[in-house]
Amino acid sequence: MTKTLFMISLDIELKQKKENLAEFASVTKQVLKYLDLVITDNQFKGDYKISTSKMAGNEKFLRPINQNLFISNSDDFQKKFEILINTLLKIKTKNPLISIDEKSNIDSVLYTIQQSIGAGFDLLVGSNSSRKHVGNRFEELVKCVFTEIGIANKRTVLQIPYETDEGTKIYKCENDLIISPYLKVRSTNRTLDPDEIVISAKTTSKDRMGKIFIDKILLEKFVGHPQKVMGIFLNDVQRKENNSISFTLVSGLFMVYNKFLTPLEGIYYLDPPPNALKPPFNSYMKRFSDLITNDLFKILPS
């Protein structure tokens, strides 16, 4: 009975919009404790673990989890979450003394938050409805991090008019997030400020990488000036069958887009695929911690 009530409560909690990092930490610790109760088997492939839960004759597989990043113990997570909050405060106050360990902790804690949410959905929610929820939580997580470090941000939908035989119609170009060097975001649903950055925040670049480049071209055509655009991704790895993985980043295609369509301001991962950290791709793709501790303040005008 207690486990059933816990499952129902966690199911609801996972689906609710998160407004701050404390709310994310709370649901993460719930999921970590729940995983301890229900995981019955693990398969390992390189750095990744694929866990299985068998209950009442029903077998469910979790998404691949990078063991180098994931914090499986809820008490350990709480300690590292507190370190993260202190690090983000240092970034907000322009303290440049961020250690390598602190940078690693940024990626690890945020990765654990997002993958805990994903694992919770794998176990408790049908796959059709979970995908959108997991994506929404990632957008909210990225937004909360920028808010925590004092970067003004908001989600916008740019309305682009175009002519048809039936008259003027509106194409709605959704921007996951716009971040700004100003106290408030100046971009609107009609125009974009050239000093601000349009962010595409997705759990994976699979089937989405090309759209970022196309959207940048479209945005610049519409607003009539160069526009900064970057992508932020969780990872590019997926479960293959029941006990293996495959990486989904098409790195060669990214280079073609970057050279022949338009360059982006950067691609950032919490869990970069192997190719992302090798030349020449590492000139364009980095860890998320590199963005908020260094690159962001070079791209955004002071």
Q: Read off the pLDDT band of 112 (50, 70, 90).
A: very high
Q: Per-residue pLDDT for 7 more than 70?
A: no
Q: Read off the pLDDT band of 5 (50, 70, 90).
A: very low
Residues 281 and 275: beta-carbon distance below 8 Å: yes
Would you kindly state where each structural domain of the chain is located, as residue ranges?
A: 2-136, 151-299
- Could you identify the residue written with the tokens 């971009």? 187
When pLDDT is averaged across residues 81-110 and rounded to a whole number, the result is 95
The helix (run of H) or strand (run of E) holding residue 253 is helix 251-260
Q: Read off the pLDDT band of 131 (50, 70, 90).
A: confident
Q: What is the pLDDT of residues 184-235, one digit of tens each?
A: 999 999 999 999 999 999 999 998 899 999 999 989 999 999 999 999 999 9
Mean pLDDT is lowest, of 3-12, 139-148, 224-233, for 3-12
Q: Which residue has the higher pLDDT, 83 or 165?
A: 83
> Could you give the CA distance from residue 118 to residue 115 in angstroms, rounded to a whole number?
5
Sign of the dihedral through C-alpha 201, 207, 209, 211: negative
Amino acid 236: pLDDT: 95
Amino acid 207: pLDDT: 86
pTM over 0.85: yes
Q: What is the pLDDT of residues 159-173, one digit of tens each?
A: 888 899 989 999 888
Amino acid 93: pLDDT: 92
Q: Per-residue pLDDT for 261 more than 90?
A: yes
Q: What is the pLDDT of residues 234-246, one digit of tens each?
A: 999 999 887 789 9
Residues 248 and 236: beta-carbon distance below 8 Å: yes
β-bridge partners, 287? 269
Q: Read off the pLDDT band of 8 (50, 70, 90).
A: low
Amino acid 185: pLDDT: 97
Token pair for residue 81? 């979450």
Average per-residue pLDDT for the chain: 92
Amino acid 230: pLDDT: 96
DSSP 67: T
Pick from 42, 90, 85: which is nearest to 64 by CA? Answer: 42
